[in-house]
Chains A and B, each alone.
Chain A
């Protein structure tokens, strides 16, 4: 009544039921609708399959991710967004039961090959998580952590520069510059998340993966992070998973809609939100905004 956009459990259930009905109508979701290719790709994923044990979680997904674009991934809970995102920097390696097949090219190198060294890969493809997770260290050390382990700074002055620069770019410097030595956990949730972003950009990655980076934040902190994402796209390729449709609309150029492990539709964000081609995409988008 007072908030029609509020996602209640009931209407999620309703949406899910709709999907099941749709499935019974045999809507084909194994082919991706829309443009999976872009002109100037940084990442090219080809026929990616992911299994957790016997269970398939990502089914034959192919998609390009362009340079300097923000790609938003949306879809109902459990459809495999996080799983796919974690393939892009091989974070799925940390899960014992998880197997990934297919090819993912980062600048023409297949990162899914066994011989790929994940340490430099993860420095190039950084990740920001759903829950802010600052290390139990000072603010300064949180940001300096990555540059230190990758040996990016030759001396203290260079390290200082990287830290200040990253904090500045994460829009956090002004708020924390007098207390760089207090613990990272003493910051507010939104500040912590921006600290985590600063920590990620401190190793100067080319790609930043964000898994629902704002879901633990209040609207004001969310707006700040969104603004940040918008600015970061000048220099980075960003892939963001989000449940907030408006957020996808605000920050991304392209949107990919996942459903039950399949990439159903991908295309320019405005197109996805105004004239979705696939029935499932449409019911997902309209279902939420009624």
Chain B
């Protein structure tokens, strides 16, 4: 069907081209013939595609009987095509502004593409809110946000004993922040220092060698990091702990945090590198020019000048750490402990969302709906973090432009 429309469109193009060429023989044209041809083709093809789509939507949702009139659909499409084609064809005159009209159509098309992203975001957001709303109908929002006990088992039958279900999200958030904190303790300093080395000390060759390597780090799938955490880091930490006489769970916040930290090093380093490079050269020269050494210049002038940008970058990194799932699923465990001890197993918001939604579930039990509520809160937290971070970074950029 679309093929036929395409064929028709092409023939429309030639028809428009011919007519406008003929007109041009005698008269000046506002737009070149090609525009007339393309406009004719685009106009009529769009109209017929629209007819098709509208027909199909009506058929699927409103009038199922329309299905029996399918053969008329082709006919209708063809009529619509010929109708718009003739209409446009007749409009081709020497003063007809085909170029401007086409420009408008292109603009509309591009606009609809860019609004698609926004619409999808809004759609996701609304559906999450809607589902969370259902959840909060069963579980009070206060209990959810401030409850300290998380065990999302609902009795399946009314008379079942035992688990009654508790949805206090506090342990999840402490777990999330604990891991993000450990990750930032690793990624912050290391990323920052590697950025300083790369932008201030490294020669061009070294820089050209190291930069791509760190970018490879950024390209490793998170599952692989999770693997690495479970198979290498966690046993290593446990063994070291044993030797030191500390008991460390085989799944610990420390292992997950460490590996996550390694994962975001390139992220922190590349943002800090950009920010440090944006510090104007004349500030550096000013400091060197009165006899400061390189490290004095970096510590006392460059870092303070770049600080807002660096903080912004770190916040972005935190929001990434909070949203990260795979490593934590594999390395941090699933038990919702309310603890600040990095040697214990903890769980995070994202992990719980995964657990809640994996497997056979009814989609209206509080258990699954809880996932949406968690998602909503997470969404807000990262949104706020990103907003603050981007705001700081932008402020910083403006300052030096």
Contacts of B292 in A (CB 8 A): 119, 145-146, 149
Taking beta carbons and an 8 Å cutoff, which residues of A are in contact with B? 89, 91, 94, 96, 118-123, 126-127, 129-131, 133-137, 145-146, 149-150, 196, 199-200, 203, 205
Binds A, one of B7-15, B241-249, B253-261, B297-305: B297-305
Q: Are A203's CB and B204's CB within 8 A?
A: no
Q: Are A133's CB and B291's CB within 8 A?
A: no
Smallest CB–CB gap between B304 and chain A, Å?
A: 5
Q: Are B291's CB and A146's CB within 8 A?
A: yes
- With A120-B291, A126-B290 in contact, do A94 and B285 touch (Cβ < 8 Å)? yes
Bound Cα distance A146, B305 (Å): 17
Interface centre among B203, B204, B286, by most A CB within 10 Å?
B286
Q: Closest 9 A-B residue pairs measured CB to CB? A: A127-B289, A122-B291, A123-B291, A133-B282, A133-B286, A146-B290, A136-B305, A119-B291, A149-B292
Chain B, 292-344, CB within 8 A of any chain A CB: 292-293, 296, 300-301, 304-305
- With A129-B282, A129-B285 in contact, do A203 and B304 touch (Cβ < 8 Å)? no
- With A149-B291, A150-B291 in contact, do A136 and B304 touch (Cβ < 8 Å)? yes
Q: Are B203's CB and A126's CB within 8 A?
A: no
Q: Which residue of A lies closest to B308 (CB)?
A: A136
Q: Which residue of B lies closest to A127 (CB)?
A: B289
Bound Cα distance A89, B204 (Å): 24
- With A96-B203, A145-B300, A149-B296 in contact, do A131 and B282 touch (Cβ < 8 Å)? yes
Taking beta carbons and an 8 Å cutoff, which residues of B are in contact with A? 203-204, 280, 282-293, 296, 300-301, 304-305
- With A135-B301, A135-B305 in contact, do A129 and B291 touch (Cβ < 8 Å)? no
Q: Are A122's CB and B286's CB within 8 A?
A: no
List 6 interface pairs A-B (beta carbons < 8 Å), by A numbering. Answer: A123-B291, A129-B285, A131-B282, A135-B283, A150-B291, A203-B290
Contacts of A131 in B (CB 8 A): 282
Q: Which residue of A lies closest to B284 (CB)?
A: A94
Bound Cα distance A26, B280 (Å): 42
Bound Cα distance A130, B290 (Å): 15
Q: Are A200's CB and B290's CB within 8 A?
A: yes
Bound Cα distance A76, B290 (Å): 28
Bound Cα distance A119, B301 (Å): 16
Smallest CB–CB gap between A239 and chain B, Å?
A: 13
Q: Which residue of B lies closest to A134 (CB)?
A: B286
Bound Cα distance A199, B292 (Å): 12
Contacts of B203 in A (CB 8 A): 96
Q: Are A89's CB and B304's CB within 8 A?
A: no
